[in-house]
Structure 1
Amino acid sequence: MTTTTDPVPSGHLQPPASTTTEPVSAIPPGHGNDTTSTSDTTNSKPSSVRAGNTPSHLNLETFPTTTGPVLDTSELPGLPRLNYNLWDYKIKLSIVTFLLVLESSLIPLALFYGLWFRTTLRHGIIFAIITAFFGLVTGIEFGLRSLKLILPPDTYRPIGGKRWKADFTHWTLSFGYTVMTGILIGASIPHEPLVRPLAIPVPLFMIQMGLMLIATGYMNVKHKPTWCRMSSVPKGERTRPLVYTIVEDIIAVDGAAGLEYRRAFMARYEVSKLFRKMIAKQNWFWGWGSLLVGIGTMVVIWTVQQEIAYGIGWGVPLVWTIIWIVVTVVWVRRDLRHEKEQWARDAMSSVSNINIGEQNGVAAAT
Structure 2
Amino acid sequence: MDGPPPSSTTPTTDPSKLESTNTTTTLPPLPLNLSTHKPFITLHWLPIMLTSGILPITLYFALHYGTSLSLTVVLTIPLVLMGVVSLTALLRRSWRLSCKESACRPLGCEAMRWSGDFFHWNFLGGFVVLTVVISVEIGVGSLCALPLSLPIFYISVELLIAQVAMRAGWRTPVRMSSLPRGSPTHPGTFILVEDVVAVDGGLGREWREVWGRRYEADGELRALLRRLDLLWAINKDIGYTVGWGLPWVWAGDMVVITIWMVKRMLRRQRGR
Q: TM-score range by the shorter chain?
A: 0.7 to 0.9
- What TM-score do the two structures reach when normalised by structure 2? 0.88
Question: Which of 103, 117, 121 is matched with 1:171 structurally?
Answer: 121
Code of the residue aligned with 2:39 in structure 1: it is I
Code of the residue aligned with 1:245 in structure 2: it is I
Question: Which residue pairs with 2:144 in the alignment?
Answer: 198
Q: How much is the aligned-residue C-alpha RMSD, in angstroms?
A: 2.0
For the 8 Å contact 2:53–2:244, the answer to whether it is kept is: yes
Question: Which residue pairs with 1:218 in the alignment?
Answer: 164
Question: Which residue pairs with 1:324 in the alignment?
Answer: 254
Question: Which residue pairs with 1:250 in the alignment?
Answer: 196
Question: Which of 116, 135, 138 is matched with 2:64 structurally?
Answer: 116
Q: Deviations over 1:266-302 (max 9, x none)?
A: 001011111100111111111112x12134x2xxxxx
Distance (Å, rounded) in 2 between the aligned partners of 1:131 and 1:83 = 37
Q: Deviations over 1:39-66 (max 9, x none)?
A: xx89xx96xxxxxxxxxxxxxxxxxxxx
For the 8 Å contact 1:183–1:201, the answer to whether it is kept is: no
Identity %: 29
Distance (Å, rounded) in 1 between the aligned partners of 2:43 and 2:179 = 31
More helix by share: 2
Task: Point out the structure with max Rg over C-alpha.
Answer: 1
Question: Which residue pairs with 1:91 in the alignment?
Answer: 39
Distance (Å, rounded) in 2 between the aligned partners of 1:274 and 1:236 = 24
Question: Which of 219, 233, 240 is matched with 2:186 structurally?
Answer: 240
Distance (Å, rounded) in 2 between the aligned partners of 1:34 and 1:207 = 25
For the 8 Å contact 1:152–1:163, the answer to whether it is kept is: yes
For the 8 Å contact 1:213–1:242, the answer to whether it is kept is: yes
Please, which moves more after superposition, 280-289 or 259-268?
280-289
**1:258 and 1:209, CA in 2 relative to 1: closer, same or farther beyond 3 A?**
same
Question: Which of 208, 232, 256 is matched with 1:286 structurally?
Answer: 232
- The alpha-carbon deviation at position 200 of structure 1 amounts to 2.8
- For structure 2, list consecutive stretches of 5 or more residues without a partner in the other structure: 1-12
- The alpha-carbon deviation at position 336 of structure 1 amounts to 2.3
- The alpha-carbon deviation at position 33 of structure 1 amounts to 5.3
Distance (Å, rounded) in 1 between the aligned partners of 2:71 and 2:122 = 32
- What TM-score do the two structures reach when normalised by structure 1? 0.66
Distance (Å, rounded) in 1 between the aligned partners of 2:92 and 2:149 = 26
Distance (Å, rounded) in 2 between the aligned partners of 1:34 and 1:322 = 29
Alignment map for 1:183-194 (pairs within 5 Å): 183-188=133-138, 193-194=139-140
Question: Which of 73, 76, 101 is matched with 1:125 structurally?
Answer: 73
For the 8 Å contact 1:33–1:270, the answer to whether it is kept is: no
Q: Deviations over 1:124-144 (max 9, x none)?
A: 222222222122222111111
**1:34 and 1:134, CA in 2 relative to 1: closer, same or farther beyond 3 A?**
closer
Distance (Å, rounded) in 2 between the aligned partners of 1:127 and 1:34 = 46
Distance (Å, rounded) in 2 between the aligned partners of 1:179 and 1:150 = 23
Q: Deviations over 1:302-346 (max 9, x none)?
A: xxxxxxxxxx511111111111111111111112222444xxx5x
Please, which moves more after superposition, 199-208 or 263-272?
199-208
1:313 match: secondary structure: coil
Question: Which of 68, 73, 84 is matched with 1:136 structurally?
Answer: 84
Distance (Å, rounded) in 2 between the aligned partners of 1:240 and 1:265 = 12
Q: Deviations over 1:68-122 (max 9, x none)?
A: xxxxxxxx53211111112211111011111110121111111111100100112
1:82 match: secondary structure: coil
- For structure 1, list consecutive stretches of 5 or more residues without a partner in the other structure: 1-31, 47-75, 298-311, 346-366
**1:33 and 1:238, CA in 2 relative to 1: closer, same or farther beyond 3 A?**
closer
Question: Which residue pairs with 1:180 in the alignment?
Answer: 130
2:243 match: secondary structure: helix
Question: Which residue pairs with 1:153 in the alignment?
Answer: 101
Distance (Å, rounded) in 1 between the aligned partners of 2:216 and 2:16 = 10
- The alpha-carbon deviation at position 258 of structure 1 amounts to 0.8
Residue 174 of structure 2 corresponds to residue 228 of structure 1: yes
For the 8 Å contact 1:213–1:283, the answer to whether it is kept is: yes
